[in-house]
């Protein structure tokens, strides 16, 4: 598997997930400042000209949620996704889609102070998004209870960005404790080292 990435971007999600998976992979760093993401070759991998993206044989995958889901499927032994008939399968999928569909949208609303009726906004409003995540983390330690999954890579990464990096989310106690659990994972630490070395 080939990962196309750049430091200090959402690529860390993909690296963290690959480290959790135990799969072997090669890193291909793109220089975003030099515009390498706009090359003809990379556009054929991700027409959105964004990182991360992966190539696995004939398969190309872009968009973080899709990348996490794909890696989880390719590494069943790592148990990063509940099975098709597992009772938490629906929650798992919901959180994977919630990341881009609701949580990132809530970040944008916070940044831009965009006013939008909560009925029309797919994420409702920022307070609702935060409360739903807060409630889901009450029992812990992970979104699916005792079981760590790709959903934690998605939401854990987002919360870390929102609370620790951009400081646009109120650091509720459940968020703080969850981010600390996520960043204490050996796979996350390895991913950070890989990112820093790059
Ligand atoms: N929806 C995409 C977002 C990816 C994204 O926005 N990547 C940024 C870095 S975090 C990027 O590649 N920016 C370079 C550019 O737009 O030229 C995903 O989830 O993978």
Give the tens place of pLDDT for each residue, 123-160.
Answer: 999 999 999 999 999 999 999 999 999 999 999 999 99
Tokens read off for 10: 């959402």
Give the tens place of pLDDT for each residue, 107-126.
Answer: 999 999 999 999 999 999 99
Question: How far is residue 136's CA from residue 98's CA, in Å, rounded to a whole number?
Answer: 12
Q: Which of 54, 79, 104 is the last residue of a domain?
A: 79
What's the structural domain count of the chain? 2
Q: Which of 68, 90, 52, 27 is nearest to 153 (CA)?
A: 68
Q: How far is the CA of 100 from the centre of ligand 1 (A)?
A: 11
pLDDT given for residue 135 in this prediction: 98
**Residue 142 has what DSSP assignment?**
B
pLDDT given for residue 34 in this prediction: 98
Question: How far is residue 81's CA from residue 147's CA, in Å, rounded to a whole number?
Answer: 9
pLDDT given for residue 69 in this prediction: 98
Give the tens place of pLDDT for each residue, 13-24.
Answer: 999 999 999 999
Question: Order of strands, edge to edge, in the sheet holding 53-56?
Answer: 26-29, 2-5, 53-56, 59-62
pLDDT given for residue 104 in this prediction: 97
Q: How far is the CA of 10 from the centre of ligand 1 (A)?
A: 7
Judgement on whether residues 68 and 29 belong to the same structural domain of the protein:
yes
Judgement on whether residues 94 and 180 belong to the same structural domain of the protein:
yes
The domain of 96 spans 89-186
Q: How far is the CA of 146 from the centre of ligand 1 (A)?
A: 31
pLDDT given for residue 198 in this prediction: 83
Closest atom of ligand 1 relative to the 99 alpha carbon: 19
Judgement on whether residues 172 and 153 belong to the same structural domain of the protein:
yes
Q: How many CB atoms lie within 10 A of CB 85?
A: 6
Atom 2, ligand 1: residue with shortest CA distance: 63
Q: Which of 34, 52, 79 is the last residue of a domain?
A: 79
Mean pLDDT of the chain: 97
pLDDT given for residue 80 in this prediction: 98
Q: Which residues line ligand 1 (CB under 6 A)?
A: 9-10, 32, 37, 49-51, 63-64, 100
In 67-188, where do the E strands start and end? Answer: none
Residue 70 lies in a domain: yes
Q: Which of 48, 79, 110 is the last residue of a domain?
A: 79
Q: How far is the CA of 33 from the centre of ligand 1 (A)?
A: 13
**For the chain, what percentages of helix, strand and coil (3-state, to nearest 5) are there?**
55, 10, 35
Closest atom of ligand 1 relative to the 10 alpha carbon: 10
pLDDT given for residue 152 in this prediction: 98
Question: How far is residue 105's CA from residue 121's CA, in Å, rounded to a whole number?
Answer: 9
Atom 15, ligand 1: residue with shortest CA distance: 50
CATH code: domain of residue 66: 3.40.30.10
Q: How far is the CA of 86 from the centre of ligand 1 (A)?
A: 32
Judgement on whether residues 111 and 75 belong to the same structural domain of the protein:
no
Judgement on whether residues 119 and 93 belong to the same structural domain of the protein:
yes
Is-contact 191 19, C-beta < 8 A?
A: yes
């Amino acid at each position: 598997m080939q990962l196309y990435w750049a430091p200090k971007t959402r690529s860390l999600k993909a690296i963290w997930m690959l480290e959790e998976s135990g799969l072997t992979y090669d890193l291909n760093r793109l220089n975003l400042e030099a515009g390498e993401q706009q090359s003809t070759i990379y556009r054929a991998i991700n027409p959105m000209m964004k990182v991360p993206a992966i190539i696995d044989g004939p398969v190309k995958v872009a968009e973080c949620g899709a990348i996490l889901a794909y890696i989880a499927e390719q590494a069943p032994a790592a148990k990063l996704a509940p099975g098709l008939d597992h009772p938490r399968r629906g929650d798992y999928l919901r959180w994977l889609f919630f990341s881009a569909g609701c949580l990132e949208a809530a970040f944008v609303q916070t940044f831009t102070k965009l006013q939008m009726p909560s009925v029309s906004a797919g994420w409702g409003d920022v307070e609702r998004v935060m409360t739903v995540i807060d409630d889901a983390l009450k029992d812990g330690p992970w979104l699916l209870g005792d079981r760590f999954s790709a959903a934690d890579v998605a939401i854990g990464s987002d919360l870390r960005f929102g609370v620790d990096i951009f400081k646009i989310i109120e650091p509720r106690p459940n968020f703080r404790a969850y981010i600390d659990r996520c960043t204490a994972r050996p796979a996350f630490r390895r991913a950070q080292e890989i990112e820093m070395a790059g």
